[in-house]
Amino acid sequence: MLRVLKILVRGRKDKAAVEKSIQLFYPGWDIAVESLGGVRGDKLVEKLEEINLSSFTILLSGRRDLQDFRVALNQLAPLPPLVALSLVDRSNVRNARLEMIAHSIDIGRAMLRGTTEWINNVYRFYFSLEGSIIKLPRDPESDNFFFFSQKYHSLPLKPDDAFVLAYKLREGLHEFYCGSERAGTARFSLTETKIHSWNNEAICPKLDENKLIEENQKLLEILENKALSFIRKNVPDHVEKIIVPWSGGKDSTAVLVLSIKALGKDRVIALHVDTGTEFPTSSEYIERVSRMLGVQVERVYAGLREAIGSRGLPQLGERWCTGLKLDALRRGIRDILKDEKPVVIVGDRDAESKLRVRRPQLRASKEETSLAPLKLWGGAHVQLYLKSRGIPLNPLYEIGFYRIGCFICPSLRDWEISIMLKRIDALKLGSESLLSEFFENRYGTSSLSK
């Protein structure tokens, strides 16, 4: 049976404790929990061989059994991608509080999407105990992604067009890796980019994208096949039209590619919500990629630009724009499907927000069925998947943007605004009158300079 996630524990009582934790903290999730029958030593190796470890598997261990698991996994190497060993910080899993077990599962999920090796002069996103790991995430909110160019940032990287692996941690803190070496840390906030520490001697290698994809090909195939199976399993045959909300960001683009591959382009409708304040670059990207994919794109206008006249610019504490966009999305779905119950395939991933961490991969109600095939993917997984399938990333990512949205979004970080200032003409924002209002609102000046 296809399950979203499998959790392995040593004994029967551990299994019971994990199941209670999942019931409380993961309602609606399709998670399998299996006991290894209490075995240790050589018998643990035999049991793991018998189970035949599969991808998206977390081995959950207390302190007492951690070394036993490590030894057994070493004997099983090489392991399949997307396997993690997560510690519950008690002697046994069954001795932990239920919220502690849930936290350890969250960390295991972060390991699945973020464990990174530096091997053969390339990054590989595989679980390993062989000592080549450069990053083993211990933060449930962590995510990884590539900066394909640093030319437009204030980070002191050498060379300035380096191919860099970044890790997003808590509260805007990021770690940057040049090959196997941590180049430094920086904190990105809405108001400043602050470098905390930096190795000025670090020189980032020129990475070969083709080699990077080749080294991770098995992983990408597993991610794709599991996503395709999930979509096909949960989209009924009688549903003729499936909606994929498409912003032009990497996650919604990857979901669109997967949906077309799983269901055929004739069943898939990409729905783009035009707020009226989109980057022109994103609109052009949607036009270009939709032609590549041969997919039908429908557009619905949210009217954000007009609403600003009466409501003022959206603020962090009052992001009324989100409600406007959601209303437009629902209206667009109704216009397309009329009275049919919609099946919507979205690009939600765990690492995007605390709210999304607890959302199950499948949410079904009387009004709508929502699928999230990328739930357990990391940001680097998404980037590599698109590149491996010949789909370009939105050019905004290529010049350093972290997310894709409106050019007046209150969540734009300081360094993204710096990019806007440096490339305002290339981004076709030079004559945009709303920018003056946005900068005055944010910085107290309308001069388009900070």
Whole-angstrom Cα Rg for the chain? 23
- β partners of residue 147: 164
- Helix (H) / strand (E) element for 59: namely strand 57-61
pLDDT exceeds 50 at position 323: yes
Per the structure block, which two tokens stand in for 217? 């090909």
Q: Give residue 1's pLDDT band: very low, low, confident or very high (50, 70, 90).
A: very low
Please answer whether residues 237 and 224 qualify as being in contact, where contact means their C-beta atoms are separated by less than 8 angstroms.
no
- Helix (H) / strand (E) element for 321: namely helix 320-337
In sign, the C-alpha dihedral spanning 284, 285, 291, 292 is positive
The percentage of residues in the chain with a pLDDT greater than 70, rounded to a whole number, is 93
Please answer whether residues 23 and 99 qualify as being in contact, where contact means their C-beta atoms are separated by less than 8 angstroms.
no
Pairing of strands 173-178, 242-245: unpaired
Please answer whether residues 118 and 134 qualify as being in contact, where contact means their C-beta atoms are separated by less than 8 angstroms.
yes
Closest by CA position to 33, among listed 99, 73, 93: 93
Determine the CATH number of domain 216-311+318-381. 3.40.50.620
Between CA 125 and CA 111 the distance in angstroms is: 10
Per the structure block, which two tokens stand in for 389? 């399938």
Mean pLDDT rounded to a whole number for the chain: 89
Between CA 226 and CA 91 the distance in angstroms is: 34
Between CA 194 and CA 184 the distance in angstroms is: 11
- CB count, 10 Å around CB of 428? 14
Predicted TM-score (pTM) of the model is: 0.94
- pLDDT tens for residues 171-211? 889 999 988 889 899 888 887 788 888 888 888 887 788 99
pLDDT exceeds 90 at position 217: yes
Where do the domains of the chain lie? 5-114, 133-208, 216-311+318-381
pLDDT exceeds 90 at position 162: no
Please answer whether residues 274 and 299 qualify as being in contact, where contact means their C-beta atoms are separated by less than 8 angstroms.
yes
Between CA 60 and CA 86 the distance in angstroms is: 5
Pairing of strands 57-61, 83-87: parallel
Q: Which residues make Cβ contacts (< 8 Å) with residue 334, sequence separation at least 6?
A: none
The fold of 5-114 is Dna Topoisomerase Vi A Subunit; Chain: A, domain 2 (3.40.1360)
Please answer whether residues 153 and 400 qualify as being in contact, where contact means their C-beta atoms are separated by less than 8 angstroms.
yes
Outline where DSSP puts E strands in 116-237: 116-119, 122-124, 133-135, 143-147, 164-168, 173-178, 181-188, 193-198
Cα→Cα distances 157→66, 192, 326, Å: 38, 18, 39
- CB count, 10 Å around CB of 343? 22
Outline where DSSP puts E strands in 319-406: 343-345, 362-364, 369-371
- pLDDT tens for residues 275-310? 999 999 999 999 999 999 999 999 999 999 899 988
Tell which wins on pLDDT, 439 or 35.
35
- pLDDT tens for residues 65-85? 999 999 999 888 778 889 999
Between CA 411 and CA 414 the distance in angstroms is: 9
Per the structure block, which two tokens stand in for 99? 């919220």
